Amino acid sequence: MTDQTKNSASSQATKERVVIFDTTLRDGEQSPGATMTHAEKLEIAGLLDEMGVDIIEAGFPIASEGDFRAVSEIAANSKNAVICGLARANIKDIDRCWEAVKGAAQPRIHTFIGTSPLHRAIPNLDMDQMADRIHETVTHARNLCDNVQWSPMDATRTEWDYLCRTVEIAIKAGASTINIPDTVGYTAPVESADLIRRLIETVPGADEVVFATHCHNDLGMATANALAAVAGGARQIECTINGLGERAGNTALEEVVMALKVRGDIMPYATGIDTTKIMNISRRVATVSGFPVQFNKAIVGKNAFAHESGIHQDGMLKNAETFEIMRPSDVGLAETNIVMGKHSGRAALRSKLHDLGYDLADNQLNDVFVRFKELADRKKEVYDEDLIALVNVGIDGEGDRLQIKHLRVICGTEGPQQATLTMAIDGVEQTTEATGDGPVDATFNAVRNLFPHDARLQLYQVHAVTEGTDAQATVSVRMEEAGRIVTGQSADTDTVVASAKAYVHALNNLLIRREKSGGDTPEVNYKDLT
């Protein structure tokens, strides 16, 4: 153990607490194409609660009936975390938010309004009118709920005097948390720290509330700005798993949490996060959102603990601390990559999955085991990443209305390529042939022959799970129809098969979205809220 690690451990008891506010299910889900199903939202909320997140912003209840139901159910099921809902600065939004979160053991209402000149122009309110609106809505929220958070959207581009005025109004009206959003990722670390510090020093009553920071990553400084805000006096960080969020994303939970843990010598703050659960939830969010994690992403990227340089490898063999400032196990990553094969049994698979952060029920394990054996027959070696893909991506479910049964593709240097597809639609098998500009295009055309639709393919992404020509390909697709955006994922050693399954997975999700929205009901657009 290094002196730095020893000092960090010995000072842990004296560290000041920083609250972690996760908005993956609200701001993160606003990323185009990152919409999650009801079941996926409940699953992610459970994982966040289990890992020690203090506050879960579960959604924007007035946005849709689906969002309201998800927030309500998350609130009812929460065990430890405060459950928060978002509401615009009007009575109807706040009432709907309270209806959704009031079933939580610890509910919170988060209301906001844009205070910068650009945002004041949208509702056409002058400074005095907006000040009255803030007082009215925060007071109303406080009369419903003891725990109220208020945010001046685009705070970092709001005039200093007016920002102080609105923050004071919100505090006097009963807000117990004041969140300062850098809505468009405009600020820099020195400004972030100074802004929080000056507000605490200047605004009457500021010493009696918690200040929070909410940073976007448009200039790549979200994590730095969040940590700087903490140095300035903020004691709540708003963040998302994998930095998911609007445009370039939000502050990444895993980055700020590990920065505080590793650099406790200069940032004497503690969180309640069980960091060994980070990798598992990162992978799960990547899967359900359809946003793969870039290989060189800090903390959770595939290359975060990989060493290829000869100098680095030599140093690692002699002393891992030479080139690693944290251990892979600190974030829940297996330090050894034991290879599983076709002779491995259920017990070995269960043990391996447990090491990777997955504790499956017997029926889930049986399902994964069958697919593991099928994969082991096709691959010489099955690595950790292969098993993770099997668990996270899966295959067509028995309850899906669309299921691929057989696929045969003819391709080569002479086109067009041809696909013969058999697909079950509501239990009835149908077969068709189609051609296209490449095997994947031909396959997608065959799917459209059997299931005509107007959904537009927005994204088609393939990446290899492991190295080698027999590697599994993980395919992600994103589709849009009438304002509804859905994603689909699948994995297979055959890229075309994985592509077909991902495409059909997205169509099944589209069918679910159609049913929930009543066919033609448009969804509320709530982009760029904070």
Per-residue pLDDT tens digits for 120-179: 998 889 999 999 999 999 999 999 999 999 999 999 999 999 999 999 999 999 999 999
Segment (H or E) for 513: helix 495-516
Run of H or E including 520 = none
Tens-digit pLDDT profile for residues 296-315:
899 988 777 764 444 444 44
**Given a cut of 60, is residue 397 above it in pLDDT?**
no
- Output the pLDDT for position 413: 82
pLDDT, tens digit, for every residue of 75-106? Answer: 999 999 999 999 999 999 999 999 999 999 99
Q: Do domains 18-289 and 402-516 have the same CATH topology?
A: no
Separation between Cα atoms, residue 350 and residue 355, nearest integer Å = 9
pLDDT for res 19: 98
Q: Which residues are annotated as a binding site?
A: 27, 214, 216, 250
Q: Is 261 helix (H, G, I), strand (E, B) or coil?
A: helix
- Give CA–CA dist 462/290, Å, rounded: 11
- Binned at pLDDT 50, 70 and 90, residue 523 comes out as very low
**The pLDDT value given to residue 398:** 52
The pLDDT of residue 352 is above 90: no
Tell me what pLDDT residue 321 has: 56
What distances in angstroms separate CA 428 from CA 117, 403, 423, one per listed residue?
Answer: 58, 10, 8
More confident residue, 434 or 382: 434
CA distances from 22 to 200, 355, 441, 530 (A): 23, 25, 39, 13
Cα atoms in the Cβ-side hemisphere of radius 13 Å centred on 75 = 27
Measured CA to CA, the distance from residue 494 to residue 452 in angstroms comes to 25
Higher pLDDT pick, 464 / 168: 168
In the chain, where the domains are located: 18-289, 336-394, 402-516
DSSP one-letter code for 522: P
Q: Contact, 113 vs 94, CB < 8 A?
A: no
Mean pLDDT across the chain, nearest whole number? Answer: 86
Total Cβ atoms within 10 A of residue 339: 13
Q: Are 279 and 448 in contact (CB under 8 A)?
A: no
Q: How far is CA 514 from CA 71, 149, 290, 427, 505, in A?
A: 20, 34, 19, 19, 14
Edge-to-edge, what's the strand order for the sheet holding 417-425? Answer: 402-410, 417-425, 428-436
Share of the chain above pLDDT 90, in %: 58
Convert the pLDDT of each residue in 191-221 to its tens digit.
999 999 999 999 999 999 999 999 999 999 9
- Collect all residues with Cβ–Cβ distance below 8 Å to 50 and sequence separation of at least 6: 274, 277
Best-predicted range by mean pLDDT (358-372, 402-416, 441-455)? 441-455
Residue (of 253, 279, 258) closest to 324 by Cα position = 258
pLDDT the model gives residue 7: 45
> pLDDT (tens digit, 9 = 90+) per residue, 33-71?
777 888 889 999 999 999 999 999 999 999 989 899 999
Task: Give 515 or 516, the one with higher predicted confidence.
Answer: 515
Q: How confident is the model at residue 117 (pLDDT cuts 50, 70, 90)?
A: very high
Q: What is the pLDDT of residue 175?
A: 98
Q: Is the pLDDT of residue 520 over 50?
A: no
Least Cα distance to 53 among 27, 29, 24 occurs for 24
Residues of 231-257 as b/e, b for ≥16 C-beta within 10 angstroms?
ebbbbbbbbbbbbbbbeebbbbbbbbb
pLDDT over 90 at 184, yes or no? yes
Residues placed in the known binding site for Mn(2+): 27, 214, 216, 250
Short-list 273, 184, 271, 182, CA closest to 228: 182
CA dihedral 309, 312, 316, 317 (to 10 degrees): 60
Identity at 179, one-letter amino acid code? N
- Residue at token pair 């069918």: 511
Length of the chain: 530
Domain 402-516 has CATH 3.30.160.270: yes
Count Cβ neighbours within 10 Å for each residue of 471-492 and write b for 16 or more, e otherwise.
bbbbbbbbbbeeebbbbbbbbb
Q: Is the pLDDT of residue 421 over 80?
A: yes
The CATH number of 18-289, from 3.30.300.30, 3.30.428.10, 3.40.190.10, 3.20.20.70, is 3.20.20.70
Handedness of CA 214, 218, 223, 229 (dihedral sign): negative
- What is the predicted pLDDT for the residue at 382? 77
> Which pLDDT does position 209 carry in this prediction?
98
Encode 48-115 in three state secondary structure: HHHHCCCEEEEECCCCCHHHHHHHHHHHHHCCCCEEEEEEECCHHHHHHHHHHHCCCCCEEEEEEEEC
* Paired strand residues for 487: 478
Cα–Cα distance list, 506 to 25, 77, 98, 173 (Å)? 20, 28, 33, 46
Question: Which of 155-159, 320-324, 415-419 shows the lowest mean pLDDT across its residues?
Answer: 320-324
